[in-house]
């Protein structure tokens, strides 16, 4: 593994990492942060990702956005009609849709 500048990452060093609670508790199968030994080192700031982003933008003073064309218009004519409707079925004491 390498840093963005190409220098190797010291696999024996300790790093300060910021993440959200979903990833920090094993979301999407990312279990490295869910390890009990790792969780003992957590510092929970209770800060929302949105607020951390706003603070970073305020500290930087400006943001230069890059348009990378990841979003494109839908082919026309676009439709919001659902072609099949789910039907609820009884399953024990719960209902599955």
Taking only the tens place, the pLDDT of each residue in 7-49 is: 999 999 988 888 888 888 888 888 888 888 888 888 888 888 8
Task: Give the integer Cα–Cα distance in Å for 18 and 47.
Answer: 11
- Residue 45: name the closest of 35, 36, 55, 37 by CA: 55
Which pLDDT score, from 0 to 100, does residue 97 have? 47
Return the pLDDT at 84: 66
Distance, CA of 19 to CA of 33 (rounded, Å): 9
- Residue 33 has what DSSP assignment? G
Please say whether the beta carbons of 67 and 61 come within 8 A: no
pLDDT at 90: 54
The alpha carbon torsion through 12, 17, 23, 28 (nearest 10 deg) reads -40
Tell me if 38 sits within 8 A of 30, measured CB to CB.
no
Tens digit of pLDDT for each residue in 42-70? 888 888 889 988 998 999 988 888 888 88
Confidence of residue 83 (pLDDT cuts 50, 70, 90): low
């Amino acid at each position: 593994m390498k840093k963005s500048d190409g220098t190797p990452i010291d696999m024996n060093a300790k790093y300060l990492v910021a993440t959200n609670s979903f990833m920090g508790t094993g979301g999407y199968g990312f279990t490295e942060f869910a390890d009990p030994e790792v969780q003992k080192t957590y510092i929970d700031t209770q800060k929302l990702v949105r607020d951390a982003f706003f603070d970073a933008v305020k500290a930087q003073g400006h943001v230069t956005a890059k348009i990378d064309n990841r979003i494109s218009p839908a082919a026309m004519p676009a439709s919001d009609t659902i072609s099949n409707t789910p039907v609820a079925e009884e399953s024990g004491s719960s209902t599955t849709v």
